Amino acid sequence: MLTANWIFRFGDGTSDQASGTLQALGWKGQSLAEMSRLRLPVPPGFTISSDVCSWWGGPESSSTGALRREVEYALAALANTTGRTFGSPTNPLIVSLRPSAAHSVPGLMDGLLNIGLNASTVEGLAEQSGDAAFAYDCYRRFVQSYCDVVLGIDPQDLEDILEELRAEACVPDGIKPSADVGRQIIRAFLAFVEDELGEPFPDDPMEQLWGAVGAAYKSWNGRRAILHRQAHGLPSDAGMAVVVQTMVFGNRGKASSTGVLCTRDATTGEKTLVGEFLNDSQGNELVAGTRKASSIRVEALAQSGCPTGFNSSIRESSEPEDTADVAPALVEALQQIACQLERAFCGPQEFEFTVEAGTLWLLQSREVTGQGKAALKIVVDLVQEGLISEEEAVLRIDPAMLDQLLHSTIDPSAARDELARGLPASPGAACGLIVFSCEDAEVAKADGKKVILVRNDTTPEDVHGMHVAEGILTSRGGMTSHAAVVARGMGKPCVSGAWTLSIDAAEKSLVVGDRVFGEGDLITIDGTSGQILVGEVPLQRSDLSGDFGTLLGWADKYRRLEVRSNAEQASDAIVAREFGAEGIGLCRTEHMFFDSERIVTVREMILAEDDEGRKEAIAKLLEMQRGDFIKLFTTMRGSPVTIRLLDPPLHEFLPKGERESAEVATAMGVSPEKLIKLAASLDEFNPMLGHRGCRLLVSYPGIAEMQARAIFEAAIEAGRLTGEPVLTEIMVPLVSLKRELVLVRSIIDATANDVMKETGETLYYSIGTMVELPRAALRAGEIAKSAEFFSFGTNDLTQTTFGISRDDAAAFLSTYQAKGLMDADPFVTLDQEGVGELMKIAVERGRATRPELKLGICGEHAGDPASIAFCEAIGLDYVSCSPFRVPTARLAAAQAVLRARKTS
């Protein structure tokens, strides 16, 4: 329960910060303690530790007796510092109260100002200030805020009373009512509250303070705060601190104001002070935007010109309309404070300030990171200015932000008519005309039109349509569905799992509620947020500056993990190399057959009635594969290329419908009826766990022989073209038995020997397997006897560990997360306790058999920062992700190393 350190004082040049942590004080409390230590002008106060939040039961709870005594002691200490007493009718101490969590949490209670005012103390404040109108303005503000935040009264009710009385007294907007009108407003407010609640408004200052404390703690468990913590993986039991601080008044006449200032421009990263302020006002007015604020934009001081001391007296005053009219003394003071804060906190800050009767005070300061290019510029500049190290710069950038920088985004100022929401399956935004078929997408593209391909789901046959579309929208599927995986590989925006959409491809209609859209209607999708918007919404694209390359160059210094890319086409490999990929970690050979002409040949091979027919189809595929591999090897010259042998779940390649069946029947020289029967004989109840991967290669060894020959002949030709040997890694998929791998390996080795004899050339290759089944992980020690490398296929390993279909999981995983059963979607962020445990077992057992065993990961988790940190921790050698996630992986891999150093 209570500890020795649960109230921390600050102000008057001292603080108890040394005994408090960020978790105990929250960011507001910690910033106030640090600014006090720097002897900056901070109104004195104290912070109630976040420990109290976990046991708070209300002001009358038996647990709060000790806390009450300590708060009273802290208030007495404030009285000694300020010369004012809380609750005194003649010389009152008035305070504010603000929640202070370690992380920003929307939904927490707004700050409550002017606590301690009542019928007696308001007269004391009037006497202190010599301005009764000001005192009653503060009292009125307090009653309004307290009724809203603590008592739960609709704020509009009191606002209506205020406007009516202001109108009767002919008080213009922006002008304080006279003291007499102020008294009339207070009487009306208090009478309304008593009628509404059946009891009077709290008059005792201590009762007011405890009511505010209770409201703050209650907001920690409010719906918005809970949802935010769940969405960002923040612990629910962390609690929050509460800051109680002496009031300073920005509404005390023309020489008073309140404002917010950033020490750098958060939109551009420039070292310019940017902010706004209001004369004769309090901070909540500035936040609410009820009055037009004046802007501040002035030059920042260089660190060499940063002062060592500070004088908070700025007696010049003005009523500015823009920066040019700001009192020079205020500008100079803000420049000095900004410089000191950046030096103290080692980075940009946003700070709140109040000027009371010519004296400047600081109320809080927090870190500003910026977004997009601005964030990169800020950290690079901070390194160049000597404020932070390269390592710290690498740690300050969110890797996911790099992903967004590589794609178009929606203009933040654009209006949005949201039609529906799905899963943010592939980042970026795109506008286009709705089309429901790949053929229509190709026709529209040929006519110079931009389209969004709208489907219930996608299959390998849709890839040609996905290639020409600006983006993809599906009503079904999850974050690792076919549409999501392929779109990320292409770098195209995708929204999947939009279950509220009713899509009828035959009727060419998309229906949401009572809204109906057809082919040719304009929509915009945002694959970063999952939004589906009506019409064409303005987009913006980032121009990647030198700061992008500088930061990634620093990251490469510190990371240990090699970063490769998944790619099947030379065009994807080119993009991957441009983004810094050090090889291809997964070439899915079945993706090379998605072309409408090639897929017919694959179907011929699968549906062949005898070995002769299958050999004919395989011979055709050999030529295709050889050409593809030559392009891939020459593009990745000198870098390793991992090629996964054919792994098609058969249902993805069997013909669907009469048209496709007739097409394949013609190519095979059989009747459509016979072909339909052949296809039906291969139909599977659960094709993802059916006749695929190495099982297909065991049944049809000619496929393994054909692919191995295509790989080896292409490697020799690419070596001749580039003058460099090709480093080929051949991966056998879906292995669960050592004997499966031994059999397929014997085919590959025999083919390699044949090709070397035929050409007189030496081949450089290794053979490994994809660990994507629990049995393979458990038997890794045995399997490693026949494998030079393992690559964890965590998409399938997650499916088979949980027994969850990744294409159907989106329908219920969000419910699991909302109810706290899962912290994250296991197809997005690796499940370290279950899937991760299997990976650890495979690493330990595999390397016990073969110490030099190369280990990598090629599932979608390879581009997820949290999953990459796990891969670093268990000692993998590389990660392989889609081309557009390579920069994210490079940064995340470096951060994993640096964070591990900090904790070791």
The residues carrying an active-site annotation are 482, 858
* Rounded Cα–Cα distance for residues 478 and 805 (Å): 9
Furthest-apart CA pair in the chain: how many Å?
A: 106
Q: How far apart are CA 274 and CA 264, in angstroms?
A: 7
d(CA 621, CA 625): 6
What burial class does residue 480 get, using C-beta atoms within 10 Å of its C-beta: 0-12 exposed, 13-18 middle, 19+ buried?
Answer: buried
Cα–Cα dist 726/734, whole Å: 25
Closest CA to 383 of 372, 396, 370, 401: 396
Measured from the Cβ of residue 384, the count of other Cβ atoms closer than 10 Å reads 11
In this structure, are residues 317 and 327 in contact, taking their beta carbons and an 8 Å threshold? yes
Under 8 Å between Cβ of 216 and 76: no
Rounded-to-integer distance, Cα 427 and Cα 739, Å: 41
Separation in Å, CA 38 to CA 12, 343, 509, 793: 10, 11, 64, 53
795 Cβ neighbours under 8 A, 6+ residues apart: 480, 485, 772, 806, 827, 859, 860, 861
Alpha-carbon distance of 878 to 583, in angstroms, equals 10
Best CA proximity match to 177, nearest among 161, 154, 192, 193: 161
Joined tokens for residue 712: 């080896």
Considering just the CA atoms, what is the radius of gyration of the chain in Å?
33
223 burial via Cβ count (<10 Å: 0-12, 13-18, 19+):
exposed
The strands making up 241-246's β-sheet, listed across from edge to edge, are: 14-15, 7-11, 45-48, 241-246, 95-100, 112-115
Tokens of 629: 């591999």
Give the span between the Cα atoms of 81 and 94, in whole angstroms.
13
Structure tokens at 66: 């000790």
Residue in this structure with the two tokens 């079904």, named with its chain if needed: 476
Dist. CA 272–CA 45, nearest whole Å? 31
Nearest-angstrom CA–CA distance, 46 and 32: 9
Task: Supply φ then ψ for residue 86, to 5 degrees.
Answer: -65, 120
646-660: burial string, b at 16+ Cβ within 10 Å, e else: bbbbbbbbbbeeeeb
Contact of 455 with 495, CB cutoff 8 Å: no
Question: Distance (Å, rounded) from C-alpha 766 to C-alpha 855?
Answer: 13
Contacts of 821 (CB under 8 A, 6+ apart): none
- 740 to 330, 564, 697, 785: CA distances (angstroms): 77, 27, 9, 13
- Note the helical H segments in 221-327: 223-231, 283-288
Give the H/E segment covering residue 423.
Answer: strand 423-426
Write the single-letter amino acid at 340.
Q
The amino acid at residue 631 is K
Sign of CA dihedral 829, 832, 834, 838: positive
